[in-house]
Amino acid sequence: MKIFVLTSFMVCLVIMIFPIEIFADTALDVYMNDFYSKSYEASKILKEIEDTLKEGSRKKVCSRQREAARLGILANKSLIKAFEIDGANPPMQAIKASQQRWESILNEC
């Protein structure tokens, strides 16, 4: 029993003295996470706007629509940056189509 307690104490001591290193996200991960979170948030706002319009209300539709468009544009920029960091060629046709869609939403109100 003494050996078990001594061994446990030594393990705890080593863990305290030499903490496990935490690896930070890479720049690619940061930009991809930014892309996904902003895309999700923009889509969520548009869905909320759709539900609001179905209920017959137009309360704050334009301001929320512009907010969603700004997030979508920023998401596209993050995606392009992620591709640049990765050294891959981004699907520019799809990104440009998405960019045009967000810009048209931004300019509609």
Total count of domains within the chain: 1
pLDDT given for residue 96 in this prediction: 93
Residue 83 in domain? yes
Q: Provide the whole-model pTM.
A: 0.72
What is the domain range of residue 66?
25-108
Residue 16 in domain? no
Residue 104 in domain? yes
Residue 56 in domain? yes
Residue 7 in domain? no
Residue 81 in domain? yes
d(CA 96, CA 1): 68
- At 40-81, the pLDDT tens digits run 999 999 999 999 999 888 888 889 999 999 999 999 999 999
Residue 17 in domain? no
Residue 74 in domain? yes
In whole angstroms, how far apart are CA 49 and each of 5, 38, 68, 71, 73?
62, 16, 10, 15, 18
